[in-house]
Structure 1
Amino acid sequence: MRIPPFLMTLFVLTGSILPANAQNGINDIDLPVVQQLHKIKLSLLGLTYQWEKPVSRKSVITLEGGVAGGMSFSAGSISGTAFRYAIVPEIGIGFRNYYNLDKRFKKGKKIDNNAANFIATDVFINGNPILSSGNITAREAVGLTAAWGMQRSLSSKVNFEWQAGVIGGTDFEDWVIAPNLRIAFSLIAGKKRTN
């Protein structure tokens, strides 16, 4: 009897995965899951509320709203130097995958409050500036960020988070693509372990 190639491939893959878990004494039931979190985030130029809602064992959908800020500095031989900033109302929805959650768990590292590295993408909408420098012409805008970052639990109620990536956006007149860096501390307002 001849075994179909796809069944042989499935058998080989399954055989190579199962022994690794058995050797560590860990099966899928024992692996961690992300938590549902309600966070109040404070960053250099922003204050937002963020909800992380699990959609799989290691992934969450994020909903965020509050005020966010941005700043830029430019220097040129014709225009001179300019520092600009704006603080705007912002809402957004995103996706995060905490890709090294299992690795941290197996090494005995802290994973409370979704303490792991992540890749993320967010779609956001900004309103007109609440506060801005006189030389900025910010308007309503929509944008997208793609980032890599990490979140660490400093205590049962406080997280530290940073992420770096690229942001692209438009106010429907101009398009901007720029590097993006975010550093924030979060107060955990509520959490729930998802099973």
Structure 2
Amino acid sequence: MNKKYLFLLLSLLLINTIHAQDEEPASVVKNQFKINLLSPGFVYEHGFDTKNTLYSELNLGVGYRHSNYYDETTWIIFPVINEQFRHYYNLEKRATKGKKTARNSGNFVAASAYYNFSSVNTNEKYGDYGSSCTIAALWGFQRTYGRFNLEVHLGPGVNFDKYDTEFVLISAFTLGWVIGK
């Protein structure tokens, strides 16, 4: 009788071990390419390990300004490079709840550096829009549905340019398309 219980216990343990080996742990993808649609640009996200990535983005930033003095408005267009070291902290929790983690669908915290190049269009009345650099700490989330990608991030930062240094709030909402597998 004891042999039957021992055999049953070992069988259950073996089945659980085999089943656990079949399940892949929730992890970020090694390489992911995206095209951003709202602020036109390209993104490459490289996974270092199961939870950390380097997010690299090149896009066009757009600004709008109105002058009461001249009673005119102007648009500013400038290239932007954005580098982020991301840590996805809830992939396992999402996976255990049956939620998707594919293509880095999860919440993250990030250290970010933005470099805004000088404006490609100028308006003499509105002054010089030179280059600037912004360092920020971000919280955000990314969800990918098939190939469609949605991302939101925000956080405090410090902006440096040739005139001054100031506290800024960084926020972004992007819609994109994942390229590749």
TM-score range, shorter chain: 0.7 to 0.9
Displacement of 1:130 in angstroms is 2.4
Q: Does 1:55 align with 2:45?
A: no
TM-score w.r.t. length of structure 1: 0.70
Q: Percent identity?
A: 25
Displacement of 1:69 in angstroms is 3.0
Q: Does 1:164 align with 2:158?
A: no
- Counterparts in 2 of 1:149 and 1:71: CA distance versus 1, 3 Å: farther
Matched length: 160
Q: 2:97 aligns with which of 92, 101, 107?
A: 107
Structure 1: gaps of 5 or more residues: 1-21, 74-78
- Counterparts in 2 of 1:140 and 1:86: CA distance versus 1, 3 Å: same
Q: Secondary structure at the match of 2:50?
A: coil
In 2, the alpha carbon distance for the partners of 1:159 and 1:166 equals 24
- Counterparts in 2 of 1:71 and 1:114: CA distance versus 1, 3 Å: farther
TM-score w.r.t. length of structure 2: 0.75
- Counterparts in 2 of 1:186 and 1:95: CA distance versus 1, 3 Å: same
Q: Does 1:67 align with 2:60?
A: yes
8 Å contact from structure 2 (residues 107, 140) kept in 1 = yes
8 Å contact from structure 1 (residues 144, 167) kept in 2 = yes
Match of 1:11 in 2: none
User: 1:103-182 counterparts in 2 under 5 A?
Assistant: 103-131=93-121, 135=126, 137-154=128-145, 156-182=146-172
Match of 1:18 in 2: none
Match of 1:30 in 2: 24
Q: Secondary structure at the match of 1:184?
A: strand
8 Å contact from structure 2 (residues 118, 129) kept in 1 = yes
- Farther-moved stretch of structure 1 (169-178 vs 101-110): 169-178
Q: Between Structure 1 and Structure 2, whose CA radius of gyration is higher?
A: 2
In 1, the alpha carbon distance for the partners of 2:34 and 2:73 equals 31
8 Å contact from structure 2 (residues 28, 47) kept in 1 = yes
CA RMSD of aligned residues (A): 3.0
Displacement of 1:137 in angstroms is 3.4
